[in-house]
Amino acid sequence: MVLRARDLEKAHQVSQRVEAAIRAKVPHVDRVLIHYEPVQKEVWKWAVPMEESGERVSAHLGEAPYFALVEV
């Protein structure tokens, strides 16, 4: 099952409802365990601050005149 929730609290609430529904429908269930974890990203996207020339990384993130977009 895949749950599209970015909020961990929301995912926890959904798992509690699923556990309760299983206990209500399946007799003699002592325990239900649902493990949820974030989806692993295959590609990371970074914005790298660049100096005016565009050839060197800027030391000042907030004042950089350009940004290089990089996918790793």
51 has a pLDDT exceeding 70: yes
Tally Cβ neighbours within 10 Å of residue 28: 5
| Higher pLDDT, residue 66 or 61 | 66
pLDDT at 26: 92
Q: What single DSSP character describes residue 20?
A: H
Q: What does the pLDDT read at residue 1?
A: 64
Q: Per-residue pLDDT tens for 11-48? A: 888 888 999 999 899 988 888 888 777 667 788 888 89
Predicted confidence at residue 2, as pLDDT, reads 67
HSE, side-chain direction, 13 A CA sphere, residue 29: 12
